[in-house]
Amino acid sequence: MRSAPDDATEAPVGPATPVADAPTAGSPLWIANFRRYAGAQLLGSSGVWMLRMASDWLVMELTGSSAAVGLLVALQFFPLMVLGPLGGVLADRHDKRRIVTVAQGCSAVLAATLAVLTLGGWVEVWHLYAMAVLLGLVAAVEQPARQVLVGEVVGDGMLRSAISTNNALNQIGGMIGPAAAGLLISAVGQGWAYATNAIVALAVCALFLSLRRSEMHPGPRLARGRGQVREGVRYVLARPRLAWVMVLAGLMGAFGLNGPVVFTAFAGEWGTGAAGLGLYNTAAAFGALAGAVMAARLARLRARSVVLGTGAFGAVEIVAAVMPVHVAFVALLVVVGVATLFFLTSASTLVQLSAERAVRGRVLALYSPILLGGHACGGLLQGWLAEQMGVRLALVLTGCLALLSTIVVGLALARVEGLRLGLRRRAWPFAIVSASPRPGRSAARVDTP
């Protein structure tokens, strides 16, 4: 049983509606507002990937250090760890569309500043680090609002389809952005990649401003009060399946979401330069699109789907690390992308569908810092390991840690859901590990509170 809110004016948080079972007939793309939202997501995702790749490669050019790239990645995401929960409170209190629009305007200004510094020949590593922190602060405010906004655009009835479509669009942006950045960097340098990102951010602002308020499905606004971040934490802790999925997301962020450091290091090892870095990001994003589609087609949404995705990721990461042939390495990056987004899409969708609308912003604002905070720590860890033992051995080590994390959290989830592990034989003589409900208990079909 949850404790009462600290302030009587807070929006009540009752039992969550199992949104995953709500009607989902039709595609959210039939909704005019969602088409505008989807266009903003595609443009915004492409621009973010372009900016990150340009910054990663510029830091590598200026320092020649994988650890320096890892520090850049960490600085991008540490603000989310510290301020993410407050961003969730803002999302629950205020107009999400306005928050996202203002944040995109700030991103445009920061990208334009980087463009001026780079094109003028004045850019230094500390500039990139400072901008990474500022962009992280913007993201800490924007991300919870943007994630909750999709529900206000389509309503809860189409939320699962909208989340899946949104994830797929983000991955298409992950293919377009790195490829475009690689071409721009090779042809005219990083400065024009930053300038392009500034223009894209302004276009995203225009698309969000064009959303029709009369066709929105706004949720209840959270009144000002004390203890609202703590209420979000208690909400998650009272739901062990939800809490363990968040823990696994953080661990995978630390041991798995290390692409910027790994791809940059491999571009140096294979001698492929900025074009190769763009190729690696695009290959992983192509697989990620397939993984997002696979996760969206799941008939049942379960915590075990998240665990399977993380286990597959750790295994493929290890194989990719030791691959001696460049073409095979690129092909495996596609598989890495499939496993990564199968996990991320399953986890993100499960978290959103498990939280009721009155507290969804704060729940997502806890999930994102855990995931991306792990990403920040993982960037530092992977950069340091790559310099100490080489990128291949470092990737093998983090892949093994990802597998170990999957096993530990998988066992914890099995205990929470009342499952027991066993061996059963198929038609062929192989023992298959399976999970079945303990006597007197049944496994939940959807991880709802």
pLDDT in tens, 94-139: 788 899 999 999 999 999 999 999 999 899 999 999 999 999 889 8
Domains of the chain, first to last: 30-213+224-437 (1.20.1250.20)
Eight-state DSSP code of residue 2: P
What pLDDT is attached to residue 4? Answer: 37
Instruction: State yes or no: pLDDT of 196 exceeds 80.
Output: yes
How many of the other CB atoms lie within 10 Å of CB of 284?
Answer: 28
pLDDT category at 172 given cuts 50, 70, 90 is confident
Query: Phi/psi at 331 (nearest 5 deg)?
Result: -65, -40
Give the CA angle between residues 308, 311, 315 to the nearest 5°: 140
Query: Phi/psi at 56 (nearest 5 deg)?
Result: -60, -45
Q: Where are the alpha helices (DSSP H) in 27-65?
A: 32-63
> Which has the closest alpha carbon to 198: 104, 58, 117?
104
- Interval 58-86 mean pLDDT: 81
Instruction: State yes or no: pLDDT of 385 exceeds 50.
Output: yes
Instruction: State yes or no: pLDDT of 364 exceeds 90.
Output: no
pLDDT in tens, 281-327: 788 878 877 887 787 777 676 778 888 888 888 898 899 889 988 89
Do 99 and 90 form a contact (C-beta atoms < 8 A)? Answer: yes
Do 22 and 84 form a contact (C-beta atoms < 8 A)? Answer: no
pLDDT in tens, 224-275: 656 666 777 888 888 888 899 999 988 988 887 777 788 888 887 888 887 7
What pLDDT is attached to residue 66? Answer: 78
pLDDT category at 368 given cuts 50, 70, 90 is confident
Q: Which run of H or E residues covers position 419? A: strand 419-425
What pLDDT is attached to residue 2? Answer: 34
Please spell the DSSP secondary structure of 198-253, one letter per residue.
HHHHHHHHHHHHTS-GGG----PPPPP-SSHHHHHHHHHHT-HHHHHHHHHHHHHH
How many of the other CB atoms lie within 10 Å of CB of 120?
Answer: 9
Query: Phi/psi at 23 (nearest 5 deg)?
Result: -60, 140
Tokens coding 212: 């029709």
Q: Which residues contact 340 (CB under 8 A, 6 or more apart)?
A: 256, 257, 284, 287, 288, 291, 309, 313
Across 166-180, 219-233, 426-440, the highest mean pLDDT is recorded for 166-180
CA distance 393 to 404: 17
258 or 51, greater pLDDT:
51
